[in-house]
Structure 1
Amino acid sequence: MHPLLDNVFWHAMVGPQAHCAVGSGSARRYAPGFSPIVGFADPERPDFDALAPHCGPGEHFYCAGWSGPAPAGWVIEAEATMHKMVWAGEAPAQDEAPDARPIGPEHLDQVLALADLTRPGPFGPRTIELGGYFGLFDGERLMAMAGERSFAGALREVSGVCTHPDFQGRGLAKRLMLKLIARQLARGETPFLHVVSDNTGALGLYQRMGFRTHREVVVRVIARI
């Protein structure tokens, strides 16, 4: 039903987000400063030789869908599984976060501090350039944010979802997600997201919201040595 979703980062980086990526042949990565994610034409047989010239020693990357041994010159630093989830619900009836503000460069220090504190997934100083990002603020203090990372075809990712611990339990992130979902559906896009399998609280929330698991895959953090 969503064939691009099985290898969505590759399709994003050779398609609509090619200008945000570097690579050659059968391997790509988001350019330095964006989210540290790599993609391969064949994720089950990743071409690390093609990727290596575009990665510096000590750089860390997220890589999905590959479960083989690390090739020479690379190390696997972490491994987990994650759910690729796709929207199957109805369109939100209204804007659930009309008070949200678009996030821009003037908010970058707060955005990076919140991402570092809450670890919503791979994030970089230029990640907010990949799509629309919105935040809810207490005065000028960023309470919660959510945005759009990769997209390919009609698929648009909801990502960077996080709330500062001082403001958790108020449903702020959910409101921001529903705002993004409504915008995506209005554009004729299909929302999707990734969630680590052991994050059962988030997994249950996304299911109740209207997301359904497309596939569960291996995700690794890898580094060039």
Structure 2
Amino acid sequence: MQCGEILRKILVVTPSSSTTNGLMHPLDNPMYEALRTEHSQYAVTSRSAKRFPADIAPFGGLPPGGDQDLRELYHPDETAVILGIGPESMEGWEVLKTFEVIQMTHSADSSYSKHNGVRLLSASEVSDMLKLTSLVYPSYFRRETASLGEYCGIYSEGELIAMAGIRMKIPGFEEISAICTHLGHRGKGLGSAVTRFMIERIRARGNTPFLHTESDNPAQQMYRNVGFEPRAVLPVWVLRRTA
């Protein structure tokens, strides 16, 4: 049995998957909840469905039964990425890829040894962020993605070699995303350093950090080392609008 199958058996049905009143937990449908709440100013909306503008991210979200509304938000041949709750019908979509991610929440205080090189990144450094993410985190990070939240990074000899930042925000929660290290600088603890930096920033605001990772991502152990624990296994759909 593979890691993802084991985690699915453990996590798909857990007390944390719903609220005390039986309603779905916001983290079970995080893209939709972010666009409905903390990132509502970015939301492109068609009745019940929502998406980020294309220059920010390909992500969209919908409540159960919002299929037709979601289709209206994407142009023919445009790619949509949906996390948590997907379309009940694939009419009008070509399924390019489906997979699962492990959603992890930060549940433990972890000592933070500051890395002297970690600092917040500015809007003037977006080109450096795009260059790094194109090497190790392609497709999802776009020119306006950094407008969603603050990002931090480490430079070496004028080159950005590690970064992380805030993507989705839901009341009480902030997602750490785009955690990446230049291939030539791995094994130096840089990914851990930028992740810890963002944890500290989120915790200082009184919120809980969370993130998403694929089951075969070797960085999972690092995430555990800095205080993250698996919360749920969520499905992801990568779709192309056909009509």
Q: What is the TM-score of this pair, normalised by structure 2?
A: 0.84
Map Cα deviations across residues 86-145 of structure 1 (whole Å, 9 max, x no partner).
001114345x23432322232222211211210267221111111110110013211111
Deviations 1:175-215 (A, max 9, x none): 0110110111111000000001122x122221222111110
Runs of 4+ in 1 over 4 A off after TM superposition: 66-70
> Within 1, Cα distance between the matches of 2:230 and 2:139?
18
1:65 aligns with 2:102: no
Contact kept, 8 Å, 1:120 with 1:161, in 2: the verdict is: no
- For residues 24 and 98 of structure 1, what CA distance do their matches in structure 2 show? 46
Where 1:54 maps in the other structure, the secondary structure is coil
Contact 2:174 2:202 in 1 (8 A): yes
For 1:153, the equivalent position in structure 2 comes to 171
In structure 1, the gaps of 5 or more residues are none
1:8 aligns with 2:30: yes
1:2-45 per-position Cα deviation (integer Å, ceiling 9, x unaligned): 72111121111011101112012221111121121111122xx4
Q: CA RMSD in A?
A: 1.9
Give, in whole Å, the separation in 2 of the partners of 1:191 and 1:48.
30
Q: Which residue of 2 aligns with 1:204?
A: 221
Instruction: Work out whether 1:51 is the aligned partner of 2:51.
Output: no
Deviation at 1:166, TM superposition (A): 1.2
Check 1:83–1:121 CA distance in 2 against 1; reply closer, same or farther (3 A cut): farther
2:210 is the alignment partner of 1:188:
no
Query: Between the two proteins, what is the percent identity of the paired residues?
Result: 29
Secondary structure of the residue aligned to 1:175 is helix
- The CA distance in 1 between the partners of 2:139 and 2:179, in whole Å, is 9
Shift of 1:69: 6.8
Contact 1:120–1:160 (CA under 8 A) maintained in structure 2: no
Tell me which residue corresponds to 1:25: 47
Picking from 136, 145, 154, the partner of 2:154 is 136
1:71 positional shift: 2.1
Q: Which runs of 5+ in 2 are unaligned?
A: 1-15, 20-24
- Provide the rounded CA distance (Å) in 1 between the counterparts of 2:72 and 2:117: 44
Is the 2:104–2:210 Cα contact (8 Å) retained in structure 1?
Answer: yes
Give the TM-score normalised by structure 1.
0.90
One-letter amino acid matched to 1:113: K
State the alpha-carbon separation in 2 of the partners of residues 5 and 121 from structure 1.
23
Superimposed CA distance per residue, residues 133-176 of structure 1 (whole angstroms, 9 cap, x where no aligned partner): 01100132111110000011110000010011111111111101
Alpha-carbon distance between aligned partners in 2 of 1:114 and 1:167, rounded to the nearest angstrom: 12
Residue of structure 2 in register with 1:163 after alignment:
181
CA 1:140 to 1:149, structure 2 compared with 1: closer, same or farther past 3 Å? same
Aligned length: 220
